Structure 1
Amino acid sequence: MLALKGKYCYLRALEPEDLEFLYYVENDELVWEVSETVTPYSRFVLKQYLENSHRDIYDVKQLRLAIVSQNDQLAGFIDLFDFDPKNARVGVGIIVAEMFRGQGLAKEALAMITNYCFQKLNLHQVYANITEDNLASKKLFESQDFELFGVKKDWIFSEGKYKNELFYQKIKE
């Protein structure tokens, strides 16, 4: 049986009580660079998002799950995006709150969601887009056998300069 529960954390569907944490994450300008966000989100808009987050990945082409520590604290989110069932692939992104970093949650959450993609969604590949200077994310994805397959030159414009974005893939064995 495939479980979305590990030693350090578990993954669950979004709940209405996640609103304040979601508001904090989505309005953190430090992560706007990777989420391609340029304006803040209101609580109203995020509340509507949460109300519709139950929709099927085959319908909306994305899925966001909460990363919850073993003591039931919301620690972050893991997202599947650009779900493409025809070509059997999906993108993945992850964010863990600073106070939970370095505890193995991101590594375990990434392993669980990748297994979910391969075993339950029957996908052929999972990919990630990581800015070249994001050393923690590069280390995380490489630790889960994602391979670097390309560089998108000057892909992200942030803080007055262009950054390269790295394209990582994990292909189902």
Structure 2
Amino acid sequence: MQALTGNNVYLRALEPEDLEFLYAVENDLSFWEVSSTETPYSKHVLRLYLENAHLDIYEAKQLRLVIAESKSQKPIGLIDLFDYNPKHKRAGVGILLIEGEQQKGYGSEALKLLIEYSFRHLNIHQLFANITMDNEKSLNLFKKHNFIEVGVKKDWIFIEGKYKDEGLFQLINV
């Protein structure tokens, strides 16, 4: 897959050289709430994952792309399509940016690139996102890109001894 290029970021496939970046991100406790991670990942497990990252979305039912900053070419985040269903032409979207790279417009540009790719090249009819209702940054990001709240799952996420509501947002390609 060719890199999907914007003005300040581009999206690219995972490479074996991304092992250290992936290890740092997957084991960052601050991301565990949104990724539903419960235990740390070993480098061995992540190396095996990278070896299978070549599987296309039709086979793996997911697609993980690195968000790279255009000037430095350094990885600054990840953006995913998950739960891809080719029959119903839908997929979930997840995005994360590392500390220090948030609130710079990178996430918005990456999400725009992924939306365009999903609708034009994968022929997806709708994208969805699950966002805890206290995650203002993500709520604002997805609403900016016309995702509509279609429901709230009450007490859906249990984290640090508390329940959180999670919103379901959709973007339908009409």
TM-score calculated relative to the size of structure 1: 0.97
Q: Is the 8 A contact 2:3 2:11 kept in 1?
A: no
Question: What is the deviation of 1:103?
Answer: 1.6
Question: What is the deviation of 1:80?
Answer: 0.5
Counterpart secondary structure, 1:151: strand
Question: What is the deviation of 1:29?
Answer: 1.2
Please list the CA deviations of residues 37-92 of structure 1 after superposition, one character each: whole Å capped at 9, or x if unmatched. Answer: 10000000001101110101000100000000012111100000000010010000
Instruction: Indicate the percent of aligned positions where both proteins have the same amino acid.
Output: 56
- Separation in 2 of the partners of 1:68 and 1:37? 23
2:105 is aligned to 104
Which one-letter code corresponds to 2:80 in the other structure? D
- Establish whether residue 45 from structure 1 lines up as the match of residue 50 from structure 2: no
Which one-letter code corresponds to 2:106 in the other structure? L
Question: What is the deviation of 1:3?
Answer: 7.0
Alignment of structure 1 residues 1-173 onto 2, 5 Å: 4-71=4-71, 72-173=73-174
Structure 1: 4+ residue segments shifted above 4 A = none
Counterpart secondary structure, 2:163: strand
- Separation in 1 of the partners of 2:144 and 2:8? 17
Report the aligned-residue RMSD.
1.1
- Separation in 1 of the partners of 2:121 and 2:48? 27
Question: What is the deviation of 1:33?
Answer: 1.2
- Separation in 2 of the partners of 1:37 and 1:150? 24
Which one-letter code corresponds to 1:32 in the other structure? W
> How many residues are paired up?
172
User: Structure 2 stretches of 5 or more lacking a match?
Assistant: none
